[in-house]
A and B are shown apart, each in its own frame.
Chain A
Amino acid sequence: MPIRPTFMRDVARLISHAGPAVLSVSALVLVWEAYARVSGISPTALPAPSRVLVQGFEQRDVLASHTLATLQATLFGFSCSLCAAFLFSVLVDFFRPLRRALFPVFIITQTLPLVAIAPLIVLWFGFGLTPKIVLVALVTFFPMLVALVQGYDSTDRDIEALMASMGASRRRIFVAARLPSALPYFFAGLRISITYAVVGAIFAEYAGAVRGLGIYILNAKNNFRPDLVLSAVFVSATLTLCLFGATVLVQRAAMPWARFEEPKP
């Protein structure tokens, strides 16, 4: 047999899963292309998707270097945010009163409008990498902290009682039971936060930067090049999707048992 039947089944499943999304997106792009060509609208107002693609491709070297800067800021900022969130989640888990002291402060950071805070952070930290890291961390820290803390609290009481009956210390119960219990919550938080992280980095660059998709978009807009704005948007969307996909892969690798569990409602 040239092709394994399981492979055929995988392909069939992929088509049935991704098919509708591919169809709807293609339809949208086609309608857009048709409208841009037929209506005679100026390309400086609404460029056709084909033009966005061609212009973006011509600028690929410039776009790539800006994308790299954004990716760098996103990953640095997000890593810092993850470390801080983990550290605080452990602190809050071991010293309960800290939760009531710290959470209101963190919630306030989530209410700050990015538009207002981004220029200030650039003002305070300059045009380098630091303000991007700070802004990405600001956007993603609290969602990750909440995910972790909720995850710890989701630990099965029976498992904790069992470990306590075995004479396990609090630290041991945390490492062997609470931490693994938090993994599904952690990854759910990660998937959402990674998309925020890209948006946060672009916002910080938009407010002032030497390199990055944000500053590229700002310049393209000021030069009346909506086609290049959209190219950069397309690149940032692709970047976000790739990062999202990476978190899904990491989750699969980190939770090999999850495949066997029944999906939770």
Chain B
Amino acid sequence: MSAPRLELKAVSKRFGDLEVLADINISVRPGEFVSILGPSGAGKSTILQLLTGALSRDGGAMACDGVPLDGNSHRFAFMPQRDALMPWRRVIDNTALGLEVQGMSRSAARAVVQPLFAEFGLAGFERNYPAQLSGGMRQRAALLRTVVQESSMLLLDEPFGALDALTRARMQRWLSGMWTRHGWTVLLITHDVREAVLLSDRIYVLSPRPARILRHYEIPLPHPRTPANSHALAEVEADILQTLLNLEE
């Protein structure tokens, strides 16, 4: 079997006296959709910051495709919690930002992202500003900006957290369909149990701070998940929810 796309072994992190991550072991295989679920303040975002290179770990090892990750590697395409679209850039230039940073000219970068607008439900909005888009469209634009970077893995930080419930459900289904078609490798950080269960192949559940991996779930159901699976999904969901609720006591 080939090396996992991402492997974290015994990773730890502390801020002064505050131990945030105690012992994190995670692996993601190519083409897999993996979620990290945890109570708020458990250190989910800290894991992401370690992966984007914004923070450096105190202990343990991280590797991408078998190659150790050092502090300043930009192997992963990151989608922050709020869409972080630049209000002053047109939608097309927002989605092309990563390519421009990689050194592509503006016109070349536009030519790369342009054909993808229709698939992301953004056709006709290329020349608009982000303020003219709905919440769901902004999130899709942010995802488009993430996937065109052609990184080896997508890091999604609660991407639908700020959306209303209906838009969120719609976006989750849409993402599930897109993922099935494109075969991206995805690491999703979320505190929404239903979202994690609907989208993921596997789920890691974090303990409260200092975080370690509390449970690990596999969901061997085909994607995209249809109403026929809903019973099996609901069972996993109830189990995870119970695990998280037991933590509180």
Task: State whether these chains interact.
Answer: yes
Residue numbers of A with Cβ under 8 A of B are 156, 158-159, 161-168, 172, 176-177, 180, 183, 255-257, 260-262
Q: Are B131 and A165 closer than 8 Å at their CB atoms? A: no
Name A's interface SS. helix
Q: Are A161 and B82 closer than 8 Å at their CB atoms? A: no
Q: Are A164 and B54 closer than 8 Å at their CB atoms? A: yes
Of A161, A167, A177, the residue contacting B86 (CB under 8 A) is A177
Q: Is B4 an interface residue (CB 8 A)?
A: no
Q: Which of A158, A159, A162, A167 has the most CB of B within 10 A?
A: A162
Of B77, B82, B132, B155, the residue contacting A158 (CB under 8 A) is B82
Chain A residues whose C-beta falls within 8 Å of the C-beta of B102 in the assembled complex: 166-167
Closest 5 CB pairs of A and B: A167-B74, A158-B84, A260-B131, A165-B78, A165-B52
Which residue of chain B has the shortest Cβ distance to A172 in the bound complex?
B101
Q: Are B74 and A166 closer than 8 Å at their CB atoms? A: yes
Which residue of chain A has the shortest Cβ distance to B90 in the bound complex?
A257
Q: Are B84 and A255 closer than 8 Å at their CB atoms? A: no
Count of residues in B whose CB is under 8 Å from the partner chain: 25
Of A167, A183, A257, the residue contacting B101 (CB under 8 A) is A167
Q: Is B129 an interface residue (CB 8 A)?
A: yes
Chain A residues whose C-beta falls within 8 Å of the C-beta of B129 in the assembled complex: 256-257, 260
Complex Cα–Cα for A180 and B89 (A): 10
Min CB–CB distance B135 → chain A (angstroms) = 13
Q: Is B207 an interface residue (CB 8 A)?
A: no
Complex Cα–Cα for A161 and B78 (A): 9
Q: Are A161 and B80 closer than 8 Å at their CB atoms? A: yes
A-contact bits for B64-99, CB 8 A (1 contact / 0 none)? 000000000010111011101011100000000110
Chain B residues whose C-beta falls within 8 Å of the C-beta of A156 in the assembled complex: 84
Which residue of chain B has the shortest Cβ distance to A168 in the bound complex?
B101
Q: Which of B54, B84, B132, B149 has the most CB of A within 10 A?
A: B84
Chain B residues whose C-beta falls within 8 Å of the C-beta of A257 in the assembled complex: 87-88, 129-131
